[in-house]
Chain A
Amino acid sequence: MFETARFESERLVPASAVIGLGLAAFGGMMTLIAPGILGDVDIAALLEQYPSVMVEEMGLGHMGTIEGFIALELYEYVWLLGLGAYVAYTAAGSIAGDVETGRMDTLLAAPIARWRLLVEKYLALLTPIVVVNVVVFVGVTGAVQVIEETIPVADLVAVHVLSIPYLLACGAFGMLVSVAAPRRILAEGVAAGTIIGTFLFEMLLSNTDLAWLGGIAPMRYYDPLAILTESTYDPVGGVVLCSAAVVLLAGSAWLFGEVDVQ
């Protein structure tokens, strides 16, 4: 049971550790320098120099508070875009990569169902998701202690916990692309590119009549800025993301059962 998930998880541990430590260092540093910047720089005056649309769209108005600063510097972009794209990219390489190299042959020759293989490879994505979340949470929380500021721990916990459905949805999308794309590099590009594309799409449409179209973007359902600055959690968004992940995963498992592995 779960031999494939275990095997694939082991493969992802080094990258997970490096990304986790890197982001924790980045987040910790941002937290440590935040009081200095917020004390020295007149953020409100600075933002007046920016186009008001940009300030509004990107939520820069929250920049002046410590939690808003951390949310914008770390979670709103690096986390949403960077980590989301990374998980989608890794998922996209999993099936497509094994098929392309011929590694899939020895796997499929074993008495294991294709859907099961796919689901286990997907579950292995929990390794980077959990490791990076835990390490970065510890890093940021520790830095907050050092600067003797208070950010509600519940908000920090929520920003990480609610990112898990978001990242799982990105991963499930990556799995679908991995099965559908003819080549690995294409799968990886499409998966990561789509995460970034939907992010921009959602942002551009957000205050137009077509804002509803932004509903296809996973970022619509997970808002780190709102969690940290307003303590507004969106559990429904989490449920939507989980459901999307299940549907995408079921779709990719079905498709993988149908396609020729060449």
Chain B
Amino acid sequence: MPPIQTSELTKYYGDVRGVEDLSFAVEEGEVFGFLGPNGAGKTTTIRTLIGFQSPTEGTATVLGADIRDGAALRDVRSDVGYLPSEPSFNENVTGRRLLDYHGSLRGDVRSDEMLELFDPPLDRKVREYSRGNKQMLAIVMAFMHDPDVLIMDEPTSGLDPLKQEQLLEFIRTEQQRGKTFFFSSHILSEVRKVCDRVAIIRDGHLVELEDVESLLDRSGKIVRARLSGDLDADALALDGVHDIEVSSDGSEDGDEGDGETAIAKSEATSVTFTYTGAYEPLLRQLLEYEIFDLTIEEAPLEDVFMRFYGENPAERVEAVENGKPVDSEIEQGAGEADV
């Protein structure tokens, strides 16, 4: 049984939808990214999974325990670590006393080891802690009992870049020890770094669930080429070419200029497009022209996510799910000048 599995998990707060009909499974030993903009339902999902609130409909299991069964969930909690998005502690207590206390509740097998990596000032009172120090204290608490499953709500928030990197590195190491992570975030670069699979949630609904790699593959490459001669978009109408933009060099205001300059500028054409096909047909096609310049790079994850987060998401998501090219509304600003 997967460490975390939800089936049609739904949570309403009165009439307000938190999440609806979420079904997914987090496999053992994977880092599962749970992405969405603020208010999408990430924290609602996590708080329901950890048992702070009961689902309106559907259910989920964590290490085999049904989240509607408080006693069962309590029994597995010694194997579950939880990092809240905004950790809060008694202000008038030292970090050390808090660690002792929480260690006595959940067991403490590795806080010393954790404190070498994440080192809040334990002898000071929590009231004097910075946001980052509180986060580090919470991280130590989440890992101190060496749980098998870690549920983390935006774990890098509040940490400085060095500590963020350290945490991501630590997560990778722990994953190699067989730990399972459920990792909510809205920061794409960190998801890219540590997550194996990613679920994207928007307005309380799961809109995508895929390997990070395939998501990037499917989102394709950005191809930028500067080719000889004058060509139009149809010249590169290969399967897998989307959102093509063609511009004769300097054509913005050069067409009406004197003949000599216009000819010089039209000798080269710049094309930019997203490409989701194989390299060979693309290169063969490009080689029909003299290539002045060519770059092929991975589409930024941000563009992929914009398809889910951007305006008119329904269409966009449907398009992506069906593997069809996505309309270029997002890139309208850049596109309309030349196409």
Listed residue (A108, A109, A260) with the most chain B CB atoms within 10 angstroms of its CB: A109
A113 touching B77 by the CB < 8 A rule? Answer: no
B88 touching A113 by the CB < 8 A rule? Answer: no
Instruction: Give, as a whole number of angstroms, the nearest-CB distance from B71 to chain A.
Output: 8
- The interface-forming segment of B49-57, B227-235, B261-269, B283-291 is B49-57
Tell whether A102 pairs with B51 under 8 Å between CB atoms, given A7-B101, A111-B74, A113-B70. Answer: no
> At the interface, yes or no: A4 with Cβ under 8 Å from chain B?
yes
Which listed residue, A103, A105, A109, A261, touches B77 by the CB 8 Å rule? A109
Tell whether A109 pairs with B82 under 8 Å between CB atoms, given A3-B101, A261-B53. Answer: yes
Which residues of the partner chain B approach A114 to less than 8 Å between Cβ atoms?
Answer: 70
B105 touching A111 by the CB < 8 A rule? Answer: yes
Which listed residue, A101, A112, A257, A261, touches B105 by the CB 8 Å rule? A112
> At the interface, yes or no: A262 with Cβ under 8 Å from chain B?
yes
* A102-B80 Cα distance, complex, nearest whole Å: 19
How many residues on chain B are close to A (CB under 8 Å)?
34
B87 touching A106 by the CB < 8 A rule? Answer: yes
B138 touching A106 by the CB < 8 A rule? Answer: yes
Which listed residue, B52, B78, B88, touches A103 by the CB 8 Å rule? B88
* A15-B81 Cα distance, complex, nearest whole Å: 34
How many residue pairs at the A-B interface have CB separations less than 8 Å?
A: 71
Chain A contact residues, CB within 8 Å of chain B: 3-4, 7, 11, 101-103, 105-114, 257, 260-262
* A96-B81 Cα distance, complex, nearest whole Å: 24
Listed residue (B78, B80, B105) with the most chain A CB atoms within 10 angstroms of its CB: B105
> At the interface, yes or no: B90 with Cβ under 8 Å from chain A?
yes
Can you name 19 A-B residue pairings with CB atoms under 8 Å? A3-B104, A4-B101, A11-B90, A101-B88, A102-B87, A103-B90, A105-B52, A105-B82, A105-B87, A106-B87, A106-B141, A108-B50, A109-B81, A110-B102, A111-B74, A112-B105, A260-B54, A261-B47, A262-B52
* A113-B82 Cα distance, complex, nearest whole Å: 16
B74 touching A102 by the CB < 8 A rule? Answer: no
* A82-B212 Cα distance, complex, nearest whole Å: 62
Using an 8 Å CB-CB cutoff, how does the interface string of B40-67 with A read, 1 for contact, 0 for none?
Answer: 0000000100111110000000000000
* A106-B51 Cα distance, complex, nearest whole Å: 12
Instruction: Give, as a whole number of angstroms, the nearest-CB distance from B285 to chain A.
Output: 56
Instruction: Give, as a whole number of angstroms, the nearest-CB distance from B69 to chain A.
Output: 12
Which residues of the partner chain B approach A111 to less than 8 Å between Cβ atoms?
Answer: 74-78, 105-106
